[in-house]
Amino acid sequence: MAGGERREAAGSLNPALDAARASVGALFRDRARACRSRTALIDGARQRTYAELDARSDRLAHALAARGVRRGDRVALLARNCLEYVEVELAGAKLGAITAALNWRLAGRELAHCINLVEPRVVIVQPEFAPTLDGLDLCAHERIMLGTQYEAAIEGAAAGAFQAALDPEDGLVILYTSGTTGLPKGAVISHRAMIARGLCFGAELSIPPGDTFVAWPPLYHMASTDQALSTLLRGGTVVIVDGFQPGPLLDAIAQLRMGWFILIPGMVEAMIEALRARRVQPAGIGCCGAMADLVPRQQIAEVSALLRAPYLNSFGSTETGLPPATGALIPPGEVPQRLSKRQSAFCEIRLVDAEDNEVPDGTPGELAIRAPTLFSGYWNAPETNAQDFRNGWFHMGDVFRRNADGTLDFVDRVKYMIKSGGENIYPAEIEQVILADPRVADAVVVRKTDARWGEVPVAFVARRGQGLNEAQILARCREALSGYKQPKAVHFIALEEFPRSTSGKIQRHALEARLEQAKGEA
């Protein structure tokens, strides 16, 4: 499927296998029958009941089919968060088309790559992004503009249920990775994987049926698309917010009970300030946060206390969903002393060395995973797929260490490892020491070329207030780390100066380029 191949949905020699086939579109239709008048989507003043969402996505599927879209074709979507986003994904799920969720923040070259990579038959776009598309060299496609043209397409389409014969391994959505040094890759998420992600979402995080999910991270990111579709398959309500807007988010927190309120790195400090300013009383949150390793520990304590909810010490990815290690919770108001993670249920993992041999407990190894939530590979990237799926396991590129009690400690990304004088240095280990200081708002450690050692670690730090200097940070590192792991310099920058991906992760390559530029100008 990752390379454009399709599997036939009918004709199995085993009738039981045919009966076991399930697709997101068919499951949503049955959920809509059971929850006809329940609110499915809220987007500001606009709402859709389950019956309305089912009917509109059916009409859109008919409209796309009339334009020649068939099972396995791609429909690209370039839009901010809006309820139409979910309609398009569900229409594709019924039709058998794959929704390619485009990142509207990308530069023109990257956006053109993402579109041409998947060769969409139709591109659905918000009017504000149409001029951007006009300036790109794109493959042939039909375009539908959200707004009047989109509504006319739905109104003019046939009514009635639309459900193509699909295989669970058919692609549902393509979510693009946030390429750090190269161009983004398109991760194909199948119907099977999305259904499994919905099951893990409910089971692992104790999300009750009918729960509310606030989709404020971009819907082109798994954080919102996975959980929004999972919520709809379970009869819940999805509240759509266009990005990090403290006002609407605080309103939702005060008025709605929700199992998981997502917070991503880089925005936790702003949420703390907003919560303190409005003194919001949460209606009830099961857990908050994500990616605790990338958040200063004092911020974890402060925001979880204000939200009165444990902080989710998660580890998943676009390719894997919530597994392999999402589920450990940090109690509200607690400054964590360690960030060990709990392996998710419904997945198998191995920690392996460079030769794919499993490493013993206490030894860092790359995490390899098998799970029903796993994606189907990167679109039209056979060499990358062969490497990453070697020996029947997906290799994540993340290094972990298994503890004697079975918990897992994140070490770092394989590609971030610094080779200094023959020693392996994992930046995350240094970052955790720096981030443990309550005077630090955020920090990242990157590599710098060095004539003597080849590479050395250098830290970029954002302060909370004043009173923290380089000598104090270096002294803290000397107390906790071996000599060869010490940062060779500390650069203080404002929190907003950290270049970030759409998932809130700091883009190290941009800071490394900044160091090399400064070195060249010296």
Q: What is the pLDDT of residues 155-174, one digit of tens each?
A: 999 999 998 899 999 999 99
Give the integer Cα–Cα distance in Å for 497 and 491.
Answer: 12
Q: CB-based contacts of 163: which residues, under 8 Å, 6+ apart?
A: 23, 25, 26, 29, 94
Q: DSSP character for 378?
A: B
Give the integer Cα–Cα distance in Å for 312 and 293.
Answer: 11
> Residues of the chain whose pLDDT is less than 50?
1, 4-7, 9-10
* Cross-sheet strand order for the sheet of 348-352: 348-352, 365-370, 394-402, 408-413
Please state the length of the chain: 522
Pairing of β 418-420 and β 423-425: antiparallel
410, β-bridge pairs: 400
Residues 69, 75 contacting (CB under 8 angstroms): yes
The pLDDT of residue 5: 46
The pLDDT of residue 12: 60
Q: DSSP character for 344?
A: P
The pLDDT of residue 519: 74
Give the integer Cα–Cα distance in Å for 29 and 358.
Answer: 44
- Which residue do the tokens 């082109």 mark? 220
H helices present in 368-426, as ranges: 382-388
Residues 304, 336 contacting (CB under 8 angstroms): no
Give the integer Cα–Cα distance in Å for 108 and 369.
Answer: 34
CATH number of 348-413: 2.30.38.10
H helices present in 330-426, as ranges: 382-388
461, β-bridge pairs: 443, 492
Give the integer Cα–Cα distance in Å for 17 and 7.
Answer: 14
Domain ranges within the chain, ordered by starting residue: 44-330, 348-413, 417-521
The structure tokens listed for 5 are 């191949």
Q: Is 4 helix (H, G, I), strand (E, B) or coil?
A: coil
CATH number of 44-330: 3.40.50.12780
The pLDDT of residue 7: 46
Q: Is 35 helix (H, G, I), strand (E, B) or coil?
A: coil
Pairing of β 321-324 and β 316-317: antiparallel
The pLDDT of residue 260: 98
Residues 95, 119 contacting (CB under 8 angstroms): no
- Pick among 3.40.50.720, 3.40.640.10, 3.30.300.30, 3.30.750.210: CATH of 417-521: 3.30.300.30
Give the integer Cα–Cα distance in Å for 512 and 416.
Answer: 11
Residues 418, 427 contacting (CB under 8 angstroms): yes
Q: Is 190 helix (H, G, I), strand (E, B) or coil?
A: strand
Give the integer Cα–Cα distance in Å for 299 and 255.
Answer: 24
Q: CB-based contacts of 301: which residues, under 8 Å, 6+ apart?
A: 333, 334, 335, 336
The pLDDT of residue 179: 55
Residues 222, 248 contacting (CB under 8 angstroms): no
Longest dimension (CA), the chain: 72
